[in-house]
Amino acid sequence: MMYFSVIRLMACLVLAAMPAWALQTSTMRNLDLCDSLVQISSRRIAKQLRTPLFPQDTLHISIVAHEGAWMLENALFAHIPKAKRFRALDSNVFRAKLTVRIADLSTRYFACAGNFDAVAREISCVLAANVETRDGTMQTLEQVTEQRRDTVSRQSIPQLESKQYSFAAANLPEATPNLWKQVIEPAIVILAGALVVALFFLVRTM
């Protein structure tokens, strides 16, 4: 019975000594988070199209050039009803035209106060859109902003970024020296390890 109690104590000591990032489960990549925010933002744009201004019109969908335009196009065509969607280049016949612009799609990192090994991650998506009807009436839709924030370990950043897309990568803030992380925490790890070894041999001698 005492043996299992010692084992549980050893496990608790090891977990307590481990830094928070080592206990972290899988984290979404920056590109996947950007795509998720574009999907949510596009859904919010599509909901604004349910107005009397163009109840039955088929829409030209025009997307302003952007590095992430492919994500926006996929999202818009997924969320705008099929009866209303129509690529701008598919026909010369003028219908109501929806123009969507990615005003912001970016990843940012910020230093975490008191946490040497982690950074705060912020991913933003801002869409601006307007609709032009057959008679030239212009309706500006409400700008849509979506943002997600979490904390990730510095060591995981290379795996989370997609360097081929500038919006899925960013510069890391400089790591500030931290007494706890550099001195006290390593000392606790060493002490915990020594205590585990001592308890192990204590149990063996009983």
pLDDT tens digits for range 10-41: 444 444 444 444 434 468 999 999 999 999 99
What digits encode the pLDDT tens for the residues 118-177?
999 999 999 999 988 777 888 899 999 999 999 999 999 999 999 999 999 999 988 766
Q: HEC states along 8-55?
A: HHHHHHHHHHCCHHHHCCCCCCHHHHHHHHHHHHHHHHHHCCCCCCCC
Share of the chain above pLDDT 90, in %: 44
Residue 6 has pLDDT above 70, yes or no: no
Q: What is the pLDDT of residue 19?
A: 47
Q: How far is CA 203 from the centre of its chain?
A: 48
CATH 3.10.450 fits 25-174, yes or no: no
User: What is the overall mean pLDDT for the chain?
Assistant: 79
Q: What is the b/e burial string over 27-55, where b = at least 16 CB atoms within 10 angstroms of the residue's CB?
A: bbebbebbbbbbbebbbbbbeebeeeebe
Residues 6+ apart with CB under 8 A from 115: 20, 151, 178, 181
CB 119 within 8 A of CB 173: yes
- For the chain, the domains span 25-174
